[in-house]
Amino acid sequence: MILHISGRSISRGKGSGPLLVSPVPISFLSGVDPETGVIVEKGHPLKGVSMAGKVMAFPYGKGSTVGSYVLYALSRNGHAPAAIINTEAEAIIATGAIIGKIPMIDRISVPLLQLKDAVLVSVDGDDGSMEYNGELSGS
């Protein structure tokens, strides 16, 4: 089943891949290795998992503005997420997505935590939508 989910466009472009859903915010400064895309934040539920090539879904970013440059570095070295979905975009992640040319949307029409890991999705940052190829959690 393919679901068409609406949201708000933050960073233009299109990206597809398996979902990686975080129930908690992510800090890109010191929370993600800029050389590998692996989440290294102590205590984070996804610690040790790579976001490279995945569609990263998380509530919002946290931490220093340098996190924007970490997203840019991930993009430059080929280890960035294929796209980003946030519950609510904030300036650090939005800026990083824009300068790193990573498609990004927020305010999607379903609760973020109903999205399931590993489901294939396509994010369209141009019109703020996504296609979700699977069942939602709790549906």
Closest to 81 in 3D by CA, of 71, 70, 90:
71
Domain residue spans of the chain: 2-133
16 counts as catalytic:
no
Catalytic-labelled residue, pool 6, 64, 109, 139: 64
Pick the CATH number of 2-133 from 3.10.20.30, 1.10.40.50, 3.40.1280.10, 3.50.30.10: 3.50.30.10
Distance CA 56, CA 53 (A): 9
Q: For every one of its 139 residues, what pLDDT tens digit does the chain have, with 9 covering 90 and above?
A: 899 999 999 999 999 999 999 999 999 999 999 999 999 999 999 999 999 999 999 999 998 889 999 999 999 999 999 999 999 999 999 999 999 999 999 999 999 999 999 999 999 999 999 999 999 997 6
pTM for the whole structure? 0.96
